[in-house]
């Protein structure tokens, strides 16, 4: 199948995934004309642009204002026809770390109260089309908005897939834990958006029984978690985990210590009502102070597993929304009926070390301490990594170790767990290996680099990360694979199993590789 040219493959996918596109000839609307669709909460008015219906800023939940900022979502309703012509505001949040801000997805909206919204791109005249729901990343502390040119869904709609992008609460608003019976509000936002899709997407031409959730980084971790969330069961048929996994969750003891510390920084009692009474600006200041404590001189007795993940706000094993470690629940069959595509980028951690020059300032003791902190024998591990990466500097080796621990091994373990569970769901795996020319070629196949290829949104807005001339043929191939998977559960290459471990390596010329992490997998066995 991968011998076809990219355009031939795209034509094939449009024929299978987008049968509804055939209806466009008789039903196409004039460019930039408006169209209305009735939903369970009220009617919305969108715009038709070149055969694609676009609806922006549709509320799936009421605005989380005041104490409601820390409470589970409630469905939104309105009278009359609501304009859905502009993106809704992003959730309240701190600013991205300046080191990576120029390289991450640019945002088209500011923070605001009415932030629980979603956006839809759908072919005009389509019926029963596959649906993809994008969950954006941002460390569960930043971003979490679908309003980015990287996430424009026109390419998916062009190829017969309805694209939905969502917002969800992050930081304390999304993941404050106080052992008070409420937890994982940010995940509940994602579930509420999926419930909205199930109820309403048919009115936009979508098939509510053929929904694929996908996300990258914290979005990928969200998808890996939702695979094991009982409330999410039945809301999606397929899942794509980009640079995620099923291991990065907080224990309730750690999460509660963080919540109590936040209250102390705010000078209020550690209750949801007291924290909810604090102005949002002061809440963000306290979160920034908390991040500063984690960065400066963290106390292991306070921070626990956050010392390794760097995610003080993330899904918590609360026993209800998240019953246990998602990876273990997937292995036990929690998502056995879901088709899974799991993958990673070859050099993820270089995004966090190369732009600011930190990669050239890593002392050997820091590398050794990192390896020891992961529970690995230092000398044998460093010797193995030096052999895997000939001529690598200390910073290069740290980037490789962190890439494996944080992203590559969790993606592999998730695929292994899913493939081992007896069920009807398929399992596939990929590696994105194309190396960016930025920073004199040192950025490499870093974290987030695959996103504009997935959405087929290469352009000036992605140039800081990808350079001036990323290969469009690779975008054609990656985007087509995501469309095919969302349509049929088969992205176009052999399924993953515990023996062959077939993995599609996306580079200038895609190639199917068997067990590309064989040495790293053996090295981390029993540890990661």
Q: How far apart are CA 29 and CA 24, in angstroms?
A: 9
The set of residues, in sequence order, having a beta carbon less than 8 Å from that of 468 and lying 6+ positions away, is none
Token reading at 165: 């992008």
CA distances from 380 to 239, 362, 372 (A): 37, 19, 11
Given CA atoms 56, 59, 60, 65 in this order, what sign does their dihedral have?
A: positive
Q: For residue 190, give Cα distances in angstroms to 101, 222, 244, 393, 443.
A: 25, 9, 16, 41, 32
Ramachandran assignment for 226, one of left (phi > 0), alpha (psi -120 to 50 degrees), beta (any other): alpha
CA-based diameter of the chain, in Å? 69
CA atoms of 154 and 49, how far apart (whole Å): 9
Other CB atoms within a 10 A radius of the CB of residue 479 amount to 25
**33-39 and 42-49: which strand pairing?**
antiparallel
Distance of alpha carbon 186 from alpha carbon 190, whole angstroms: 7
Residue 94 tokens, joined: 């701190």
| Cα distance between residue 291 and residue 288, in whole Å | 5
Nearest Cα residue to 356 out of 30, 154, 86, 97 = 97
d(CA 49, CA 70): 37
Give the number of other CB atoms < 10 A from CB of residue 364. Answer: 11
Helix-, strand-, coil-residue percentages of the chain, each rounded to 5: 40, 15, 40
If one counts every other C-beta atom within 10 angstroms of the C-beta of residue 215, the result is 26
Cite the active site residues.
217, 348, 447
Collapse the DSSP code of 77 into the 3-class scheme (helix H, G, I; strand E, B; otherwise coil) and give the result: coil
Give the whole-angstrom CA distance, residue 373 versus residue 369.
6
Distance, CA of 206 to CA of 212 (rounded, Å): 12
Tokens of 124: 């005009």
What is the phi/psi pair of residue 369, to 5°?
A: -65, -35
């Amino acid at each position: 199948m991968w011998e076809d040219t990219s355009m031939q493959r795209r034509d094939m996918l449009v024929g299978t995934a987008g049968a509804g596109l055939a209806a466009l000839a008789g039903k196409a609307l004039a460019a930039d004309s408006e169209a209305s669709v009735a939903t369970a909460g009220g009617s919305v008015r969108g715009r038709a642009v070149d055969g694609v219906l676009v609806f922006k800023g549709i509320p799936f939940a009421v605005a989380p204002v005041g104490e409601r900022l820390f409470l589970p979502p409630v469905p939104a309703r309105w009278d009359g026809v609501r304009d859905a012509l502009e993106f809704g505001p992003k959730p309240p949040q701190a600013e991205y770390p300046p080191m990576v801000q120029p390289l991450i997805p640019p945002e088209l909206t500011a923070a605001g109260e009415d932030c629980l919204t979603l956006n839809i791109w759908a072919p005009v005249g389509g019926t029963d089309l596959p649906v993809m729901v994008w969950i954006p990343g941002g460390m569960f502390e930043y971003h979490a908005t679908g309003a980015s040119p990287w996430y424009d869904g026109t390419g998916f709609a062009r190829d017969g897939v309805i694209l939905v992008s969502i917002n969800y609460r992050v930081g304390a608003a999304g993941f404050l834990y106080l052992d008070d019976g409420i937890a994982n509000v940010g995940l509940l936002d994602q579930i509420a958006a999926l419930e909205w899709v199930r109820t309403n997407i048919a009115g936009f031409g979508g098939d509510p029984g053929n929904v694929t959730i996908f996300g990258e980084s914290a979005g990928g971790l969200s998808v890996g978690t939702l695979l094991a969330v009982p409330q999410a069961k039945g809301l999606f048929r397929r899942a794509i985990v980009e640079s995620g996994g099923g291991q990065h969750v907080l224990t309730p003891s750690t999460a509660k210590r963080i919540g109590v510390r936040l209250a102390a920084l705010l000078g209020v009692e550690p209750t949801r009502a007291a924290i909810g009474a604090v102005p949002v600006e002061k809440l963000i200041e306290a979160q920034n102070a908390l991040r500063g404590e984690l960065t400066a001189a963290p106390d292991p007795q306070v921070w626990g597993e956050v010392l390794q993940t760097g995610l003080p706000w993330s899904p918590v094993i609360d026993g209800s929304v998240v019953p246990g470690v998602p990876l273990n629940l997937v292995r036990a069959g929690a998502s056995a009926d879901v088709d899974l595509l799991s993958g990673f980028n070859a050099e993820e951690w270089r995004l966090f070390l190369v732009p600011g020059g930190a990669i050239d300032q890593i002392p050997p003791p820091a590398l050794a301490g990192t390896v020891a902190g992961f529970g690995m024998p230092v000398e044998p591990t460093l010797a193995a990594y030096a052999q895997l990466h000939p001529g690598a500097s200390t910073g290069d080796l740290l980037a490789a170790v962190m890439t494996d621990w944080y992203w590559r091994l969790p993606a592999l373990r998730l695929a292994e767990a899913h493939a081992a569970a007896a069920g009807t769901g398929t399992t596939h795996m990929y590696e994105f290996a194309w190396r960016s020319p930025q920073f004199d070629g040192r950025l490499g196949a870093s974290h987030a680099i695959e996103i504009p290829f997935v959405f087929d949104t290469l352009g000036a807005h992605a140039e800081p990360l990808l350079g001036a001339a990323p290969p469009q043929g690779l975008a054609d191939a990656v985007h087509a694979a995501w469309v095919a998977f969302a349509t049929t559960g088969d992205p176009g290459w052999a399924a993953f199993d515990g023996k062959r471990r077939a993995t599609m390596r996306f580079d200038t010329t895609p190639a199917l590789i068997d067990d590309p992490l064989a040495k790293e997998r053996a090295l981390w066995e029993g540890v990661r």
